[in-house]
Amino acid sequence: MQKFELTILGSSSATPTSKRNPTAQLLNIAERFFLIDCAEATQIQLRKFKIKFQRINHIFISHLHGDHYLGLLGLLSSMHLLGRTIDLHIYCPKELQEIIEVQFKYSETRLNYKLVYHHHNYINDEVLFEDDKVIVSAIVLNHRIPCCGFKFTEKPILAGILKEVIDFYKIPVEQILPIKKGADLILNDGNIIPNAKLTVQKQAPRSYAYCSDTCYDERIIPYIKQVNLLYHEATFLHEKEKRAKETFHTTALQAGMMAKKAEVKQLMIGHYSARYKDLQPLLDEAKTTFENTILAIEGEITNI
C-alpha cells in the first residue's frame, strides 16, 4: 500500500508554549511531501524529526495569521543556502507573495530556485494541485481573515491481477491495463469473465482534510464528507464557547460534532490554546461527540 502519513510539526494556537509550537504539518502521500502551514520554527521541527526538507515541493498556507506562516521565510532561505535548484510551489493568499517579496528585496536575496505562486480563490472543491497520485482541493473556512483548508485525496488505485489468473486465462499483455482499470475479459469463445473474478480488491482512495483556522461552520460538511482523517482545530474547551465564537475558533465538542455530521472515519484535534497544559480534557470532550478522536502531538506520525 502506498504511503499516506501525516507528521505533526506544531500543534499550538497563536502563542507557542515551552512544549508546543504553532501550526505546521507534513503529509507524505506516495513520497510526495506536502507541507501544510509553516509557523515559526518549522525548519527547526523538520530538522528535529529528521525530515529531509528539500523533498518538499508543495507548501500550502491556509491564511495570513503569523502562527501559520512565519516560518516560511526562514525555510525558503535555508532551502536556497543548502543548494536547492528545483521549483517550489506555494499555495497561499495572494498577499503572501508581497510579504515574501518585500523581505527578499531588502535582504537582497535572489533564490537559486523558482517560487511558483498559486493564489487562493476561496472556492470550495477547486483543484489546487493534481498529479498521477494525488488531488488537492480547497475547503473554504470561516475565520477572522480569509482562510482556506485543504483536502488531499489519493487517485483511485489500480486493481491488481494475480499472476496465476493471467496464466490461467492466458490474458494478453494489452488487456492487462484495461482489466486493472475495471474491464471484463472476453475470451476467444465469446465467454465473458467478469472483472471481479480477475482482480484483487482495490483499496478505496483515502483522503485527509485539514480545517484550521475556523469557527464551527457546517457549510464545510459536503467537502469533508467521509474522509479517512479530518484534522479540525479545537482551540478551546466548550466552556469557552463564547470566546471561540468571538475569535472565529472551534471548541473540542464542536470539532467532534463536525466529525460526526461529516461521517469521517477519524478525527484529529489540534491548535490548542496555550492555557491548556494538559490536553486530555480537550480529547475527552471531543470524544463525547465523536469517539474515534486523537490528539495532534508533535513528532507523532499518523498512518491514514
Q: Which residues are catalytic?
A: 67
Query: Which lies closer to a second copy via its Cβ, residue 45 or residue 289?
Result: 45
Query: Helix H segments across the chain?
Result: 42-48, 72-81, 95-106, 163-169, 173-181, 195-198, 221-224, 241-246, 252-261, 280-289
- Give the nearest distance from C-beta 169 to a second copy in angstroms: 56
**Site of grid cell 536547492:** 84
CB nearer to a second copy: give 1 or 82: 82
Residues between 137 and 196 that touch a second copy (CB under 8 A): 144-145
Q: Mask: binding to a second copy, 47-86, rule CB under 8 A, as x and -?
A: xx---------------xxxx--xx-xx--xx--xx----
Which string of b and e fits 78-91 if b means at least 16 CB within 10 Å?
ebbeeebeeebbbb
Phi, psi for 284 (deg, rounded to 5):
-60, -40
Between residues 17 and 142, which has the closer beta carbon with respect to a second copy?
17
Number of residues that bind a second copy (CB under 8 A): 37
Residue 294 in contact with a second copy, rule: CB under 8 A: no
159 CB contacts (<8 Å, ≥6 apart)? Answer: 179, 180, 181, 182, 195, 199, 200, 201, 202
Nearest distance, CB of residue 47 and a second copy, angstroms: 5
Distance CA 60, CA 159 (A): 31
Applying CB under 8 A, does 111 fall inside the site for a second copy? no
Is residue 262 helix, strand or coil? coil
Asked if 4 contacts 301 with a C-beta cutoff of 8 angstroms, the reply is no
Among 107, 112, 121, 226, binds a second copy (CB under 8 A): 107
Catalog residues that contact a second copy under the rule CB under 8 A.
Answer: 14-18, 21, 40-41, 43-44, 47-48, 64-67, 70-71, 73-74, 77-78, 81-82, 93, 95-96, 98-99, 102-103, 106-109, 144-145
